[in-house]
């Protein structure tokens, strides 16, 4: 049976907003799996840590599977210690490894591989399965042909992001801070000013990408509503945006259940993210910013 998942919040939202977001997801959203934790910048984590127990309790009481996401880039020993604590056997947590060092710590135990780990071929997928991975969220830039090959010979469950800005890169430097004339060590949490990321333009004033602290995201909003039921994968990820994610989850759940068409979903989603054009270009092997009509793509 197809399952709908909600990825970790990638943005620096106020702790109260972050907590209330997950409370509403627990109470109202038709999602099966919810990822929590800081995947982008460890400096944000202390603000969320106090409310995580309440969030996890609320989600589990609602019957959601909770998975803890690790950092995508580990730069310091302090960050590594945090990953060790999260992945320790005695913690008893289900963990999504977003860095290969976290995956190494989870070797021999069931875990999830996140989209920040490059899984592009059958060999990598098979290796991770032998190490204990039970589910792999594939990178957003994989084309349809690659997803089909991995799905055909898979030894683990596969997950694909179908909604939200796509993570493209993560850096040791913080462009968000630099854009405000600040340093990374004294960033003053500038990323909190942009709850959906800071949008950048080219010199020709064309929308280019979005920046979220040390992370680069697509400017466009990934929308694979029309492609979900043809992928041959079991899990479909929604990446949180600063919008009504309960409504978004209901739309995608209706598509999976055959109660909504892709065209109807596109119209409804447009009201949720009016300032983000759709994209599905990576899936069709063209420029990632493109939004291609599936009927126009030749087999």
Per-residue pLDDT of the chain (299 residues; tens, 9 = 90+): 799 999 999 999 999 999 999 999 999 999 999 999 999 999 999 999 999 999 999 999 999 999 999 999 999 999 999 999 999 999 999 999 999 999 999 999 999 999 999 999 999 999 999 999 999 999 999 999 999 999 998 789 999 999 999 999 999 999 999 999 999 999 999 999 999 999 999 999 888 899 999 999 999 999 999 999 999 999 999 999 999 999 999 999 999 999 999 899 999 999 999 999 999 999 999 999 999 887 776 55
pLDDT of residue 299: 52
Q: Tokens 């070797």 map to which residue?
A: 107
CA-closest candidate to residue 250, choices 275, 226, 225: 225
pTM confidence score: 0.96
CB-based contact 207:197 (threshold 8 Å): no
- Extents of the domains making up the chain: 3-166+218-296
Task: Give the separation between CA 12 and CA 18, rounded to whole angstroms.
Answer: 9
Q: Looking at the domain that runs over 3-166+218-296, which CATH code has it been given?
A: 3.20.20.70
């Amino acid at each position: 049976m197809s399952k709908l998942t909600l990825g970790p919040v990638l943005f620096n939202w106020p702790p109260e907003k972050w907590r209330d977001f997950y409370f509403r997801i627990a109470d109202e959203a038709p999602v099966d799996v919810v990822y929590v934790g800081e995947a982008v910048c460890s400096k944000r984590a202390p603000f969320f840590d106090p409310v995580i127990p309440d969030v996890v309790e609320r989600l589990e009481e609602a019957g959601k599977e909770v998975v803890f996401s690790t950092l995508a880039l580990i730069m310091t020993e302090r960050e590594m210690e945090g990953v060790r604590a999260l992945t320790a056997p005695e913690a008893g947590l289900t963990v999504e490894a977003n860095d290969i060092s976290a995956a190494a710590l989870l070797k021999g135990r069931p875990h999830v591989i996140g989209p920040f780990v490059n899984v592009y071929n059958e060999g990598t997928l098979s290796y991770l399965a032998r190490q204990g991975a039970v589910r792999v969220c594939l990178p957003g830039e994989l084309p349809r042909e690659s997803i089909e090959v991995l799905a055909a010979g898979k030894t683990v469950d596969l997950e694909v992001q179908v909604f939200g800005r796509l993570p493209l890169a993560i850096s040791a430097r913080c462009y968000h801070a630099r854009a405000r004339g600040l340093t990374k060590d004294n960033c003053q949490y500038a990323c909190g000013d942009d709850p959906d990321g800071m949008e950048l333009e080219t010199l020709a004033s064309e929308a280019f990408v979005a920046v979220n602290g040390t992370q680069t995201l697509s400017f466009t909003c990934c929308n694979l509503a029309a492609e979900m039921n043809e992928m041959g994968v079991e899990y479909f990820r929604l990446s949180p945006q600063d919008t009504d994610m309960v409504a978004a989850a209901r739309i995608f759940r209706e598509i999976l259940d055959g109660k909504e068409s892709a065209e109807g979903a596109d119209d409804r989603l447009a009201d949720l993210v009016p300032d983000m054009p759709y994209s599905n270009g990576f899936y069709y092997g063209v420029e990632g910013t493109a939004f291609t009509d599936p009927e126009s793509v030749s087999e």
